[in-house]
Amino acid sequence: MAPSLNRRPGFSRRAQYGLFIGYVLAVGGALIAVALLLLSTLNPPAFAVVRGAFSEVTTPIASGLDWMRRGISSVPGGVSSFFGVRSENARLKAELEANRTLVDRARVVSQDNRRLRAMLKLRDRVANPVVAARLVYATGSSTRRFATLNAGSWQGVRVGQPVRGPDGLIGRVIEVSPNTARVLLILDPESIVPVRRIKDGLPAIAAGRGDGMIEIRSAGAAQVLFEPGDGFVTSGTGGIFPPNIAVAIVTARARDIARAQATVSPDTLDYALVQQSFFPEASGIRAREAAPQ
């Protein structure tokens, strides 16, 4: 059978309309191209206006397509950058942790350096130092308050000698062995230190309370008013403690008996300075009499 001469694309109207529109677009495009060619040849200024209008229309579309192209092309780089940033972040965190450890060590060394410098200045300032020793132990929770020094009779430490830090009085030596010494702290209830008020020289007694505080009692006059901030130093009475060593500061207003804070806490000290007694002979007798049995 001979093939049909009908070349129509089937009986689908959609296919027929598509073919027709394609022909129209092709013919229209050819006509527009011819018109533009003639316009560019015969009237270049008018062609420039038309070209500018087309540029205004196509530029935003081209920019959008270019942005999409660049965005899609940057996806692999972004993924690799993400994993690179994660690894870099982990490395920086590890480095920061190592640096934090070094900073903490440097702070500890700096604090120790400041304390040692303060102790050296104190030793140079005090006229009769015996030895600078480490406080290896101090009771902080018991009602009895003692401390241990890593220096003893072989280093010149004797019973009755006062022990102080850069900021004030710590206590006095009550027991001595060849390389260690036991110190009765001023916070202990058995500790009695003659003191005077800085602002007017009022004589008083500083006694430990056993709870980390000190009790200031008037030594003479009755109805004495103590004000917060009143500072007390050793008076030199009794022959054990040299005068003018800081002891305590009153924390609340009171009459005759006031609660005070010690100017130095043995728990925060690494080193202490042992001094000669103010009057060695008298202080030795009193120290032996006052030493606990």
What CATH number has the domain bearing residue 135? 2.40.10.340
Residues 133 and 29 grouped into a single domain: no
* 3 in any annotated domain: no
For residues 138 and 280, membership in a common domain is answered with yes
Last residue of one domain, picked from the residues 92, 125, 158: 125
| Whether residues 187 and 110 fall in one domain | no
Structural domain count, the chain = 2
Residue 4 lies in a domain: no
pLDDT at 230: 92
Q: If residue 183 lies in a helix (H) or strand (E), which one and from where to where?
A: strand 181-185
Give a yes or no: residue 141 inside a domain.
yes
Does 8 fall in a domain?
no
Residue 79 lies in a domain: yes
74 and 121 within one domain: yes
The whole-number pLDDT of residue 142 equals 67
List of E strands, the chain: 129-138, 146-149, 162-165, 168-176, 181-185, 192-197, 203-208, 214-218, 225-226, 231-234, 246-250, 254-255, 257-262, 271-275
Provide the whole-model pTM.
Answer: 0.56
> What secondary structure letter does DSSP report for 145?
-
* 91, 125, 159 - which closes a domain: 125
Phi and psi at 78, nearest 5°, equal -65, -40
Q: In terms of residue numbers, what domain contains 50? A: 14-125
Single out the residue of 252, 268, 272 nearest to residue 260, CA to CA.
Answer: 252
In terms of domains, do 164 and 202 share one?
yes
Check whether residue 113 and residue 30 sit in a common domain. Answer: yes
Per-residue pLDDT of the chain (293 residues; tens, 9 = 90+): 455 555 555 556 777 777 777 777 777 777 777 776 676 677 677 666 666 666 666 667 767 766 777 767 666 666 666 666 777 777 777 777 777 666 666 666 666 666 656 555 555 555 578 888 888 877 766 678 888 899 899 999 999 999 988 888 999 999 999 999 999 999 999 999 999 999 888 899 999 988 889 999 988 767 888 999 999 999 888 888 888 889 999 999 998 889 999 998 877 778 888 988 877 655 554 444 444 44
Q: Are residues 283 and 151 in the same domain?
A: yes
Domain shared by 121 and 221, yes or no? no
From 84, 99, 125, the end of a domain falls on 125
The angle that helices 44-125 and 13-42 make with each other, rounded to 10 degrees, is 90
Number of H helices, E strands in the chain: 3, 14
What's residue 249's pLDDT? Answer: 93
